[in-house]
Structure 1
Amino acid sequence: MQISGLFCLLVGALFNVVTAAPAPGCPLSGSPSFTTKNPLLPNPFEFLSGAPVSSKADWSCRRQEISTLFQQYELGIKPGPPDNLQSDFQKYDNGTGGNLTLTISSGGNTISWSATVVYPNVTTGSGPYPALIALDSLTIPRPDGVAIITAFVSQFAQQDNSTSRGKGLYYELFPDNSPQAASAMMAWSWGVSRILDVLTSSTDVGIDATHVGVVGCSRWGKGSLVVAAFDERLALAIVQESGSGGTACWRLSDVENVSVNGSDTVQTAHEIVGENVWFSQEFEVFANETDGTQRLPFDHHMLAGLVAPRGLFVIDNLGYKWLSPWSSYGCMTVAREVYKALGAQQAFGYSEAANHTHCQFPVADQGGELDTYVNKYLLGQQIESNVFRTEANFTFDEAEWIDWETATLS
């Protein structure tokens, strides 16, 4: 199978270059101001120009604006489709799944990248099946009735440590050392989008492309949020124990952090850019400045908001201070306001369980909640999904962190 299209790589260091062509009907964007620091969580319902977001059509435009901001100042720019994409699906002889190989060409460069597909263990029917795309490995119980596609994203864009920048298959396609070049996580997002291209255009793989989700834990939990935020074809994101740079807000993590013997107790932006290449080089400008992330016109409540109104289930763990459990709970409390504004509050679930081994999913505690979101957003069951809880004794007062009101969008 072959998919062809124009190659469109966004370039330019200036924000107004990146946003030169707003979507039809969207107002011209303003420019972010970096002259002052805002310790509060920025308003998702106000354009950079100062105009309010007052309708769902406005939100679609604001969503584009927020997406561009994250690309320009934190995650790197996500290119458009490649010049050429070919796929080959080789089924296993026993019919349990197969290997999906993508051959991708852009700008005269060509790579091949593979994913594995395992069908659900069902006794009736032959698909197409709903599916979860697992980033590198599956760390939740395999859901009944759902195929698992394992995307080997660490091969696609490496993230071993701070020396991994620019390494991996993605960078063979797009060699770019600019500050706005795609980070590892944005490269993952681009790669998963190519898998979705194949699932959408071909029946060969046996997957229902309208019911596909993404899942990951820890660094791959951060990645699952980014992947879902930047591809609206995904029906569900399961974000497991992602911590700072995932479902935690930079501003809140800085407050939660306490230095003990010269070491952070919570992962902060400053620490994270020295540890790995999950974020762009441009982001280092803000991360390496004291309270520098307060100059950003966004935080991660708005990254989660990019997933709305699609399904989002956040799984957190109170046992690891490094994961910023209070910051994550507070950040997602504010992110839920975007879902409320769109009338989709039930699509957003949050469950923060008691101490357990990192990425070892506590089935007895959170299994039923996980099943609810899988059953509703991948299997299409018409059921209630209203989960938002923490087993901690802390609270989060939104009034201390926001100076805006939630819009009612129609």
Structure 2
Amino acid sequence: MIKTRGLVGALLFAGYSLLSAQTSDTLSGTVKDSDGNAVSGAVVSLKVKTTVKDTTDAQGTFSMVVSTTRSNVPYSLSKGDKLQVGIQGRQLQFSMTSGCQNATIALFRTNGSLISSVNMGHLNAGVYKHTIPELSAGFYVMQMVIDNQKIRLNLVSNGKGYILKDEQSIAESSVVTTAAAAASVDTIVTSKSGFATINTPIDAYNKKGVAIVLTKETVADCKLSVLPETSGLKENKKLPNPFAFYDGRKITKKSEWPCLRKEFLAMASKYFYGPMPPFEAPDVKVEGTVSASGITAKITYNGKTETMNFSTSGSGDILLISMGSGLAPGSSYKYRTLSVNTSTPNSWGGVCTKLFGKAPCGELAIAWGCNIVCRAIASDPDGGIDTNKIMTTGCSNTAKAAFISAAYCEGIKLAVVVESGGWGDASPRVAQYLKRDAKIWQCGDDPQGLWKLDTDASQFLAAPYMDQKTASWVIGNNSGNVYKLPFDTHILMACIAPRYFCGLTNGNGPNSWCHLNGTGSAVAAYAAEPVFNALGVPDHFGFDISKTYMHCMEAQKNYGAVAEEFFKRVFKGDKTAKTDVLNIPKGNVQLDPAKWKETWIDWDMNVTLE
């Protein structure tokens, strides 16, 4: 039934669902750099609705579904009556559980001047709808008088619709906020390593074609610490702060992370792994061709040119760089496999030596080769491999290769590291403390630490990609110097951020098979997770040590479901996939996790980066 009250119509509805109905809006657009090139892998999120986020695809596009609820404010009236007020667009909606003798709605400017006043007279119980006059962007006050009770509400106009808030929800000082600010309902936050984070205000959630331009960070913005020789390093028995440079500077912005990551990798090369061969433009030029049977990279440096051929099997837009074993996607995924075997690093190192000489082409040739592969793929966008769908995996020794390659190669978007052990992702500080210092290691076999790396072949397996000459100061009889290392494996794990990391390892409880130092892997994960959180990508990190099983052989049975969640998110774009996992049961590690912070952490684990 339509009821008319003076100049304004009020529509009575039979039910109350209109006030509480939810709608879904689509917010979409593109992210490009200042040269107009699409930026893939950028994280796009909202500042107010923080759970809404997306990652740009190869074309730089993003699309987010935003659930919105009509604004409503409940009020209690005299005699137990209830009034609920809501707004959608320019339509004011209010409901009453019992009638009133007289109702009036008035609008005022914040200076107190009256805009309009409507007497709606006697109203029965029900839901009513009232059209608010068109108002320019800014703040207003709406007063409803129900019989003798006055209710004052703040009305915010963005020039297209209105937001209703109770009288206390907006501070008086905000009344002077500009109309432009009032028009903003939320802010899109866009970030990616190598670019400055940008905030883009939006006036509605239902928007298409939002154009976001990211500015690349210049080399001048990145000031690295001067790293001392090993004799100048200071002892630190805690895990080093993953948010601080060696000289003590702490990052406060997401845009500063790429520079800090660069310093961390420089530390790893200087003190343990040996040099990383050049691979970046403009010094090194890579021209790639992707075919059905493989990838060809033509590499030019200082007038020298060498060609590398990488054979692949299978088909699809996903590339798996398989270091051997590990966990690969299942049959529901179409992917190509580039298989790395024990002779591959020597082969890649041979090409490296021809280009750069022998000095820089040592143990990190494996990571260098991965960088060349990824650059070759990126240079052939029509080759059929999506640069956002490149992963690596391995188990045991081959997991060490997957781990170090992912840390040094940003082109690898997902690393599934299975039972990598010492230098893989297991912390040598933790091994040293539990076995040799605190002497609380409850196993018959030693963890993979640094104390026998120069004499014991079985322990050398702990670091097959370590440069023995570079690391001689911290291995064997010098293993006590592990506390002088200015980095540890949690920092290498963090260097994979904001890309995806999935770490899985065997249980390391008392009197279990302990050689892998699974507790060291778990502690590293515990200390690396805060970096992913601070960068706004907690769902890009997962670690699980909840199972105990036969080394590598039962990884699929025990952890296949965990890896599958990462495959769904990275390769299928499934945002419901459960990838923010940190599963560390007390009984599967050598020291109660409740004691980890006091034992190994002396820095803030809840850092928020702008």
Provide TM-score, normalisation by structure 1. Answer: 0.79
Are residues 370 and 381 of structure 1, via their aligned partners in 2, closer, same or farther at CA, if it must alter by over 3 Å?
Answer: same
Cα pair distance change 1:31/1:141, threshold 3 Å: closer
SS in 2 for 1:357: coil
- 1:44-68 CA deviation, whole Å, 9 max, x = no partner? 1222222222221232321221121
5+ long unaligned stretches in structure 1: 1-21, 92-97, 120-126, 160-165
The equivalent residue for 2:601 is 402
Counterpart-to-counterpart distance in 1, 2:341 and 2:453: 19
Q: Select the residue among 234, 237, 242 that pairs with 1:44.
A: 242
CA distance in 2: counterparts of 1:293 and 1:387, whole angstroms: 29
**What SS class does the counterpart of residue 369 from structure 2 fall into?**
helix
Structure 1 residues 330 and 371 mapped into 2: Cα distance closer, same or farther (>3 Å)?
A: same
User: What secondary structure, in the 3-state scheme, does the structure 2 residue paired with 1:374 have?
Assistant: helix
Distance 1:301 1:80, change over 3 A: same
Which position in structure 2 is the counterpart of 1:3?
Answer: none
**Matching residue's letter, 1:285:** W
TM-fit CA distance, 1:355? 2.7
Q: Counterpart of 2:393?
A: 215
- Secondary structure at the aligned position of 1:100 is classed as strand
Q: Which residue of 1 aligns with 2:515?
A: 322
Aligned 1:81-96 pairs, distance under 5 A: 81=279, 85=286, 87=288, 91=292
1:248 paired with 2:411, answer: no
Size of the aligned set, in residue pairs, is 362
CA 1:283–1:102 in structure 2 vs 1: closer, same or farther (change >3 Å)? same
Question: Greater shift after overlay, 263-272 or 36-45?
Answer: 263-272
- Aligned residue for 2:333, secondary structure, equals coil
In structure 1, distance between residues paired with 2:566 and 2:429: 29
Distance 2:349 2:227 in 1: 32
Q: Match for residue 257 of structure 2?
A: 59
Matches within 5 A, 1:251-266: 251-257=429-435, 265-266=446-447
- Deviation by residue 1:288-325 (Cα, 9 ceiling, x = unmatched): 41411211111111000111121100010126411101
CA distance in 2, matches of 1:236, 1:379: 13
1:273 Cα deviation (Å)?
Answer: 5.2
1:24 corresponds to 2:220: yes
Question: CA–CA distance in 2 between the matches of 1:182 and 1:290?
Answer: 25
The counterpart of 1:279, out of the listed 466, 473, 483, is: 466
Which one of 295, 312, 332 corresponds to residue 100 of structure 1? 295
Which residue among 456, 480, 487 is the counterpart of 1:298?
487
Q: Higher strand share goes to which structure?
A: 2
Would the alpha carbon gap of residues 271 and 149 (structure 1) be closer, same or farther in structure 2, given more than 3 Å must change? farther
CA deviation string 1:242-264 (max 9, x = no partner)? 0110111110011233699xx96
Kindly tell me: are residues 305 and 264 of structure 1, through their superposed partners in 2, closer, same or farther at Cα, counting changes over 3 Å? same
Q: Tell me the secondary structure at the aligned position of residue 247 of structure 2.
A: coil
Alpha-carbon distance, 1:183 to partner: 3.9
Q: How does 1:371-382 map to 2 (within 5 A)?
A: 371-382=564-575
Residue pair 1:83, 1:105 contacting (<8 A) in 2 also: yes
Which sections of structure 2, spanning at least 5 residues, go unmatched? 1-217
Q: Could you tell me how far apart the structure 2 residues matched to 1:55 and 1:115 are?
A: 41
| 1:104-125 alpha-carbon deviations (Å, 9 max, x no partner) | 4556474644332312xxxxxx
Q: How many angstroms does 1:335 deviate by?
A: 1.1
The alignment status of 1:152 with 2:346, answered yes or no, reads no
Q: Is contact 1:215–1:238 with CA below 8 Å preserved after alignment?
A: yes
Structure 2 partner of 1:229 = 407
Residue number in structure 1 paired with 2:313:
117
Q: Who is 1:387 aligned against?
A: 581
The residue number in structure 2 matching 1:201 is 379
Residue 148 to residue 324, structure 1, CA distance change in 2 (3 Å): farther
Pick which of 354-363 and 39-48 moved more. Answer: 354-363
SS, match of residue 451 in structure 2: helix
Q: What one-letter code is carried by the residue in structure 1 that aligns with 2:534?
A: A
The 2-side partners of 1:330 and 1:270 are apart by 20
Asked whether the equivalents of residues 214 and 234 of structure 1 are also in contact (C-alpha less than 8 Å), the reply is yes
Q: State the Cα distance separating 1:167 from its structure 2 match.
A: 6.8
Q: Do structure 1's residue 268 and structure 2's residue 467 form an aligned pair?
A: no
Contact 2:289 2:376 in 1 (8 A): no
Change (3 A) 1:251 1:205: same
Give the aligned residue type for 2:582.
F
Percent of pairs with identical residues: 23
SS of the aligned residue for 1:213 comes to: strand
Deviations 1:71-113 (A, max 9, x none): 221222222238565556553xxxxxx2334454556474644
Q: What letter is aligned with 1:235?
A: K
The answer as to whether partners of 1:73 and 1:283 remain within 8 angstroms in 2 is yes
One-letter code aligned to 1:388:
L
SS at match of 1:24: helix
Gap change, CA 1:236 and 1:117, over 3 Å in 2: same
TM-score (norm 2): 0.54
Which of the pair is proportionally richer in helix? 1
Give the whole-Å Cα distance in 1 for the aligned partners of 2:452 and 2:268: 19
